[in-house]
Amino acid sequence: MAEPVSPQPAGTGADGADSPVIILVSGPSGVGKDSVIARVRKRATFAVPVTMTTRPPRPGEVEGRDYYFVSREQFLAHLEADELLEHAEVYGNLYGVPRSEWPRVLATGQDVIVRVDVQGCRTLRPLLPGAITVFMVPAPREASVDEQLRALEAFLRHRNERDEVIAQRLAAAPAELAAIAEFDHVVLNVFGGLDAAATDVLSIVEAERARRGRGTSAS
C-alpha cells in the first residue's frame, strides 16, 4: 500500500501553519481546468508537479515543463516499478504523477496546484493529507446534468474539437459530474468567465491560508 506523501516540510509546526497548501483541481474533461490553472499561476506563485503521459505533445508543449512524454512501454515500466503516485487511462492515453515530482515541488516551499481527473483525485487525496479538492463545472451547481452537458459541449465546440472527441467527452461527463459531492469546493467556469473562475480558486487557497494562520501572497 502506498504511503502518504507528507505536505509538511521538516521544521514546520505540527499544526501545519507553514506547510504548503495543496489543491487538486478536477472536473469533466473539457471544462477548462488547464486554462483556469494557467490564469491562476499568472496571478500567484504555485509549484506544479509534471505529469507523465503517453499522448503525443501538442503544439507549444515542452518536455519536462508541460508533461513528461513517454511511450506506452516506458510508462508501464514506471508503473511496474511503483514509480507513479497515481495513474489513469483517459481516451486511450495513460497519465500519471511520478513519485519523484513530490519531493521537488514540496522542496520549493510554495503552494501546490495539481490538475487531475476524478479517478486520480480519489487516489491522491488519501496520499496527501490536508489537500483541498476543487471540482470545476461549466454551469451552476444546481443545473441539471443535461444543462451541464450542453454547457460542456459549447466549450468543446468553441475549441474546435473533432466530433468524435466531443462525443467521447460528453459520454464520460455524467459519471464525472456524479462525483461532485466528493469534493470540498465547486468552481464555476462559464464561457468567457476565466478570470472569475481563477479568482474563485485563489479565494479558496487564501481561505485555507487564513485558516492555517498564514499571510496572503496571491493578488
**CA 159 and chain centroid, separation:** 20
Instruction: List, in sequence order, every residue forming a beta bridge with 132; answer none if it has no partner.
Output: 23
- Identify the pLDDT of residue 212: 86
Q: What are phi and psi of 188, to 5 degrees?
A: -90, 125
CA distance 30 to 33: 8
Domain 19-47+110-211: which CATH number of 2.40.50.100, 3.90.550.10, 3.10.450.40, 3.40.50.300: 3.40.50.300
Task: Say if domain 49-107 classifies as CATH 3.90.1170.50.
Answer: no
Whole-model pTM: value is 0.86
Q: Map out the domains of the chain as residue ranges.
A: 19-47+110-211, 49-107
Strands 93-98 and 51-53: antiparallel
- Identify the pLDDT of residue 219: 45
> Residue 34 in contact with residue 159, Cβ under 8 Å?
no
Domains 19-47+110-211 and 49-107 share a fold: no
- Identify the pLDDT of residue 214: 65
Dihedral of CA atoms 207, 177, 156, 50 in degrees, nearest 10, equals: 50
| Cell 487564501, located at residue | 206
- Identify the pLDDT of residue 11: 38
CA distance 131 to 114: 10
Half-sphere exposure of residue 156: CA atoms within 13 angstroms, side-chain side: 20
> Residue 216 in contact with residue 173, Cβ under 8 Å?
no
CA distance 51 to 84: 10
- Identify the pLDDT of residue 1: 45
In the chain, what are the helix, strand and coil shares in percent, each to the nearest 5? 40, 20, 40
- Identify the pLDDT of residue 213: 83
Mean pLDDT by 10 residues, the chain (219 residues): 51 58 95 94 95 92 94 98 92 92 93 93 91 97 96 90 92 96 96 93 96 65
